[in-house]
Amino acid sequence: MRTAQNRLGARASLVMMGWLSVALWLDRAGGGGGLWQQRGLGLLTWVVLVASLLRVSTLVRAQTAVVVVFATVVEYVASPMLHVYDYRFDNVPMYVPPGHGLVYLSAFALGHAAFVQRRMPWAEAAVLVVGGAWASYGVVLADRPDVLGAMWFGCLALFLAFGPSKAVYVGAFVVVSWLELVGTRLGTWVWAEADFTGLFSIGNPPSGAAGGYGWFDLAALLVAPRLLRRFSRCPDPEVARPGQGADAR
């Protein structure tokens, strides 16, 4: 639930998603911008992230920081090293690390919006039905098979069943799916046809991308409270009850 310390709602989620969509459009294939444009987008994305973090509690800030660190490491391993997906300059654009922070905050804000909270069972069901249909299409009917996407959708279903914050995973499905569709449609990045082992085919985008991203969310929800309890002299009251993550509010 939203509190005075977490003044993000559905509108804030749309604003953050909107900025990320604009950044992806500006950095699209054939867009004409170069590395300096990417760097400028990176600086602006950090500004948007910092401004957004001023509106949330210490716990959510810590969760966002964990996502940024974890996701950035994965980005550099998965893209420049393993080429599971590639950006147009074969790099990790500078807006991507803070962008992951905005993705988490967008998912958090959307999942904890009042109208979603009042309909959480229906929201979970919608995610499972839509995500399941997309994953099934990717495996059975798509011209480009998507086994990895189906596996990631399985992860998402498990996160919704057993994860520490259903609200975050519901929001992540919407946010991550939207940005993956936009980014791949614009050619901002392109997924390889198979993973680096050659065993699992991948759609462009993979249908269950939100399930893959869910591991970042899981790290944030589990690790951030422990970091705050260990290093903060004046811990946020929200972290007094371990294991409840963002849904402790």
Is 4 inside any structural domain? no
Asked, for residue 41, whether it belongs to a domain, the answer is: yes
Residue 248 is predicted with a pLDDT of 39
**Is 3 within the bounds of a domain?**
no
Position 231 confidence tier, pLDDT thresholds 50, 70, 90: confident
Q: How does the average pLDDT of the chain come out, rounded? A: 91
Query: Is 97 a domain residue?
Result: yes
DSSP 3-state assignment of 49?
A: helix
Digit-coded pLDDT (tens) for 92-122: 999 999 999 999 999 999 999 999 999 999 9
Q: Is the predicted pLDDT of residue 2 greater than 60, yes or no? A: no
Q: What is the pLDDT of residues 114-140, one digit of tens each?
A: 999 999 999 999 999 999 999 999 999
Q: What is the pLDDT of residue 241?
A: 47
> For residue range 219-228, what is the model confidence (pLDDT) as tens digits?
999 999 999 9
Total tally of structural domains belonging to the chain: 1
Residue 49 lies in a domain: yes
What's residue 31's pLDDT?
A: 80
Phi, psi of 136 (to 5 degrees): -65, -40
Q: What pLDDT score was predicted for residue 144?
A: 95
- In this prediction, residue 230 carries a pLDDT of 85
- Whole-number Å distance between alpha carbons of 42 and 36: 10
Q: Is residue 51, in this structure, part of any structural domain at all?
A: yes
Question: Within a domain: residue 5?
Answer: no
**179-186: which pairs have CB atoms within 8 A and are 24 or more residues apart?**
179/17, 179/20, 179/21, 179/24, 179/103, 180/205, 180/206, 180/209, 181/205, 182/21, 182/24, 182/25, 183/24, 186/24, 186/25, 186/28, 186/29
pLDDT, position 5: 52
Structure token digits, residue 166: 């259903």
pLDDT exceeding 70 applies to what percent of the chain? 91
The range of the structural domain enclosing residue 94 comes to 10-248
> Could you report the per-residue pLDDT of 59-87, keeping only the tens digit for each?
999 999 999 999 999 999 999 999 999 99
Q: In this structure, is residue 196 part of a structural domain?
A: yes
